Structure 1
């Protein structure tokens, strides 16, 4: 339950020019300033304009022009000039997270605007008030200020300003979990933006929607809208806006467990945030980098980043970030077997979240408190906190905490002997997990990544082609007849460059397709790991035991079944697992199947003395499908002397697993359905082994033979398993 904090792009200033047009405006204003030497209101406005247009990319120049504008406004007593200067000063302080100083500047600006009844200026200041309160999680004050600004702008009929107010009001509703109201305001703002073709606000609204989609677990749509916003921000040169979007992309990839990709985005965002002196965003990225190290089980590193984030967040009174840090510190301490300290952190997070009306964090803190009690085996104390967290998560339609709550409830009910509710909670956990990580979502995310990279490659190629064309055109005008051979050489060189670029592009395309194929195979594996047939049979056996009042046997059976189910779910999420864990799952499966007396069989698991199963790491779920085939199909019409032998050998640096039965033999299995089932397991495993052989740089293979060729009865499956040896 690693907590991440999202930022919304909120514009104090609506500058919708691109870098090139912005440069033209700055050049024009500089010319005017050079010509206009008089100390009057016109010169103040030129200086203020230069401060505004240098605001995004050159803070030092902004400060110089702002200081001159302030001095001149005071000298000639230009009230509107004083108001503008204080307003922009407030923005500069807010960008550095100095919120108290920022609010003082805004109050001074508001007094000046009110003294001359400048309604547009008053609305702008109220909007700035709202943004500053919003950042500090003071949502009631933020709503009040935004609505004041909205009413003034609505009366004035200024569509662009109305859009910003609707957007900001939507942000408050989003942060407080009122998602329907948030979406309503966003869509109103988006409709107005489309009507006036305001590309800046269209990009901003899409970004805010992407944050909302991420919270609701709709990751493909979140990635798509975020990438759209990022492209636009790059064209405008809004460095801080780019930093926020990169941070958000990192958070999305953390949610779908692509941690290395997430880390790259957070590092890029952190560099921009440090350049722009944005303390809030610096704290956010420290927190998210801490999440990366937590996932990697590098707990000292994670603690270092969480504490750095907490220190900055407390200094600037960023309530939201403070809560996130306490939640993450709670998780770290729980992993370090310090449940009391962990609970103290979760309780702090809960108290602050309730006070700030941060309902989503309230839900997470309830679940965190529950986990500390479960860790201490205090299940009765844990139950009410889990139920509160689950109820609140369902009200807010938050999938991730709903999934966590179902998992915790399953564990609580299991250890309080309420097996029916434990099984129901486990089913709900599986359903929620599938909704977050289903095949369709993964394919969409992979396709979006590829489309975005492809678009970047095309854009880059187009820019290079345009530059090269200009160079060729310019050069050709100056060339004389004696230079034709040189021109031909340049053209040949360019053709070679384009051909090489095309080859590189198609190699990358093939690599992306390979990744997609890998995802497809892993999804097929996940669906084939525990068949509905096996689950149905297991539950039927359990039902029979309960009806026959074989309570002890039923409890033992359910314990084995739940343990096997847990191991399979955990192993399926890892690319490699310890051989010891893989064999434990196999043993549990065989033990569970052998509990049904009518289907009893003998089995052995032999491991070569040269194999240390605690050091060998192998891909999960390679062995079980073939054992399941043996159990289900090998002993047709054979009631006695059923045997299954599993043996692992280490020969010539190859890890070889043989699965032998004394059943009817593979050649005797003629039924079409069984043939299809066995060929499906074999096909999926063969596809996996092809991919794994490349990943492990080690040959993997599979062969299935009828033992009659060795003058014996039954089937023998031979697996050459790719592996790694843990040297730690």
Structure 2
């Protein structure tokens, strides 16, 4: 179940209002000099706006006086502004009908005096109010009306606001292409006028959007960009929002520790601000973490508290999400009836508010309850509906869930072909959601963000130090100033040196991370899910055919290969004899599956396999490549040879096959895995050659160069000797 998303809605109600930084006291002083004129109306309006969040009663008294004075003076613009502010106050209270009534009155007055900016500000207010009521088509049309006016009068900041708000609506209804288009337009305009606040908003919203799509790399990249700008401006509320978004992303990636840390920081800031929407979002997300840790009672408490608060503030989207989350708890507790009841409630609300992502999740949830009850026809109906919406919205998480459900449903109704197709689709979607490249990029982004933060903190410390020194130096004698200048120079040098040391450490840390990623990739290329799946399928076939002796032997070899692979992957080097044992076990399994292939392993007599240590996992990926690709059009006399020799103190491993050859193989379209194994091994050998302080390399050649058929892989392996 997808976690709650807190979408940032840019509430720029106040395009025409004076800067909020004006002090209330200065406004009161000015008010004394104006008795019954239009300036007094404007001052009363400003005072009302400055005080309504802290003292509603006092603000209302300013509004009443401003309204009466505007009527007596027949001051149309004053009437327009007062009705506009009254509309804002009603919107905050959640009385949207009354809010729209005041905005319409304000619009009428602004049109009377042809105040373009005022007219546009009311259209923006309409859009926000319609959005709050889930009236998305009306919201978009209102924003477009405002956008047209702002473009005509050349108000760049409000144009940006409209584009962001339009993007928010499209993101909410699942039209991500249009949302991204509007966000990017706004981002380009923000950069032109150096609007850091707008840039932060847009990156935050893009982070939410990409998280919905399951693109975690781009979600983290944009959220960290937003957080970077928010910390520069010390915007506590938006920092809380962004921290919550990062928590959701990491929870989707199953990094519970980071997720919980971000949500706790966000909740702490939200409680200080008493922002119920952000509090609700974090309570839901913390409930999600408890659910994943199978602490269902704690999760249910959080979800019910969130549901109660969401209902109080009439946040229908959060209400729907709460019902869906409660349903997943009951499903985990195997209470399918209560689970379906809550999924149906979520489904009905999401239909009413036209929220397709939540609708998709609830449809898949209903399917899962029917699957649990073995009502396969109804389960199939809802799974297909959910998959259709997931594909339409490009929601990878929901597509994966639908594929998993359909695989089980088709299997149980005896449609094994579709069951297998769905299972294969499930595997592909799982791989694409969190692959090695994403992990590498995420690590790089985190290092870059930390580096930016350190540089920014260092710059702030330097600025404060300089300011302190300048203030103190005014009261010092010339000799003392010279001393201070010497200290400043020393500190500046120290800071430069510190920055250099930090950069070197960061570069070293990145190199270590890259090495670890390379090792992990190579382990995955050696023992691929495809190979494991095929091996288990072969074993299943033997069991079904009552080949007891053969299946026991196969299982023994398979388990031994898994054990050796896992043991070898933990160590930087292993005995050559152990590495060869792993290769021999792999070849034994392949002999059972591919009887047409003959395997030959030669080890030079000069090599003492128990006295030489080599890096693990270098040979097997290329043997597997030969098995999978070399003999596609060859049905007999298929031979793979592995030769290890020691020449001039160089350990050489040659892998030969008599298949189609690399030149012919490269003309085929599906060579991703082959290229990946070669690339990873080359990267790893670069690191290993430095560690072992000896040459290490790999070459792949077509044997046609040597008047033979097939492919030749030559690996110069780094090694070390050990005492027998």
Give SS of 1:26's match: coil
Counterparts of 1:529 and 1:452, CA distance in 2: 34
- Establish whether residue 74 from structure 1 lines up as the match of residue 68 from structure 2: yes
Counterparts of 1:603 and 1:161, CA distance in 2: 65
Counterparts of 1:376 and 1:219, CA distance in 2: 34
Structure 1 residues 374, 514: CA separation in 2 closer, same or farther (over 3 Å shift)?
farther
Structure 1 residues 47, 259: CA separation in 2 closer, same or farther (over 3 Å shift)?
farther
Give SS of 1:478's match: coil
* 1:657-668 alignment runs, 5 A limit: none
Confirm or deny: 8 A CA contact 1:86 1:105 kept in the other structure: no
Counterparts of 2:556 and 2:235, CA distance in 1: 69
- Establish whether residue 595 from structure 1 lines up as the match of residue 592 from structure 2: no
Q: TM-score, normalised by structure 2?
A: 0.70
* 1:184-333 alignment runs, 5 A limit: 184-194=181-191, 198-333=195-330
Shift of 1:284: 1.6
Q: 2:456 aligns with which of 448, 451, 459?
A: 459
Corresponding position of 1:553: 544
Counterparts of 1:49 and 1:184, CA distance in 2: 37
Structure 1 residues 527, 328: CA separation in 2 closer, same or farther (over 3 Å shift)?
farther
Counterparts of 2:556 and 2:644, CA distance in 1: 19
Moved more, 85-94 or 364-373: 85-94
Structure 1 residues 504, 188: CA separation in 2 closer, same or farther (over 3 Å shift)?
closer
Shift of 1:72: 3.6
Q: 1:99 aligns with which of 94, 97, 100?
A: 94
Counterparts of 2:196 and 2:363, CA distance in 1: 41
Confirm or deny: 8 A CA contact 2:48 2:63 kept in the other structure: no
Corresponding position of 1:402: 399
Confirm or deny: 8 A CA contact 2:327 2:339 kept in the other structure: yes
Structure 1 residues 372, 179: CA separation in 2 closer, same or farther (over 3 Å shift)?
same
Shift of 1:327: 1.2
Structure 1 residues 84, 513: CA separation in 2 closer, same or farther (over 3 Å shift)?
farther
Give CA-to-partner distance per residue, 1:229-253, whole Å, 9 cap, x none.
Answer: 3333444454433332222222222
Corresponding position of 2:122: 125
Moved more, 353-362 or 228-237: 228-237
Corresponding position of 1:145: 142
Q: 1:632 aligns with which of 578, 586, 595?
A: 586
Shift of 1:197: 5.2
Structure 1 residues 268, 224: CA separation in 2 closer, same or farther (over 3 Å shift)?
same
- Establish whether residue 111 from structure 1 lines up as the match of residue 99 from structure 2: no
* 1:602-621 alignment runs, 5 A limit: none
Give SS of 2:54's match: helix
Confirm or deny: 8 A CA contact 1:16 1:200 kept in the other structure: no
Q: 2:523 aligns with which of 516, 519, 525?
A: 525
Give SS of 1:60's match: coil
Shift of 1:112: 3.9
Corresponding position of 2:22: 26
* 1:439-518 alignment runs, 5 A limit: 439-480=436-477, 483=480, 487=484, 514=512, 517-518=515-516
Shift of 1:211: 2.2
Counterparts of 1:621 and 1:342, CA distance in 2: 43
Counterparts of 1:76 and 1:530, CA distance in 2: 77
Give CA-to-partner distance per residue, 1:241-279, whole Å, 9 cap, x none.
Answer: 333222222222222222222223323333343344432
Confirm or deny: 8 A CA contact 1:227 1:452 kept in the other structure: yes
Confirm or deny: 8 A CA contact 2:447 2:506 kept in the other structure: no
Counterparts of 2:162 and 2:501, CA distance in 1: 49
Q: TM-score, normalised by structure 1?
A: 0.70
Structure 1 residues 51, 447: CA separation in 2 closer, same or farther (over 3 Å shift)?
farther
Counterparts of 1:106 and 1:15, CA distance in 2: 18
* 1:651-690 alignment runs, 5 A limit: 672-673=654-655
Corresponding position of 1:7: 7
Confirm or deny: 8 A CA contact 1:222 1:252 kept in the other structure: yes
Give CA-to-partner distance per residue, 1:141-163, whole Å, 9 cap, x none.
Answer: 42343344345545555444343
Aligned length: 599
Give SS of 2:551's match: coil
- Establish whether residue 374 from structure 1 lines up as the match of residue 371 from structure 2: yes
Shift of 1:484: 7.1
Structure 1 residues 93, 629: CA separation in 2 closer, same or farther (over 3 Å shift)?
farther
Counterparts of 2:644 and 2:173, CA distance in 1: 61
Counterparts of 1:63 and 1:311, CA distance in 2: 28
Confirm or deny: 8 A CA contact 2:284 2:306 kept in the other structure: yes
- Establish whether residue 433 from structure 1 lines up as the match of residue 430 from structure 2: yes
Confirm or deny: 8 A CA contact 2:303 2:322 kept in the other structure: yes
Confirm or deny: 8 A CA contact 1:153 1:162 kept in the other structure: yes
Structure 1 residues 370, 461: CA separation in 2 closer, same or farther (over 3 Å shift)?
same
Confirm or deny: 8 A CA contact 1:87 1:106 kept in the other structure: no
Moved more, 484-493 or 435-444: 484-493
Corresponding position of 2:355: 358
Confirm or deny: 8 A CA contact 2:170 2:179 kept in the other structure: yes
Counterparts of 1:619 and 1:283, CA distance in 2: 46
Confirm or deny: 8 A CA contact 1:529 1:621 kept in the other structure: no
Confirm or deny: 8 A CA contact 1:47 1:66 kept in the other structure: no
Confirm or deny: 8 A CA contact 1:47 1:68 kept in the other structure: yes
Shift of 1:226: 2.5
Counterparts of 2:556 and 2:250, CA distance in 1: 47
Confirm or deny: 8 A CA contact 1:16 1:199 kept in the other structure: no
Corresponding position of 1:568: none
Shift of 1:8: 2.4
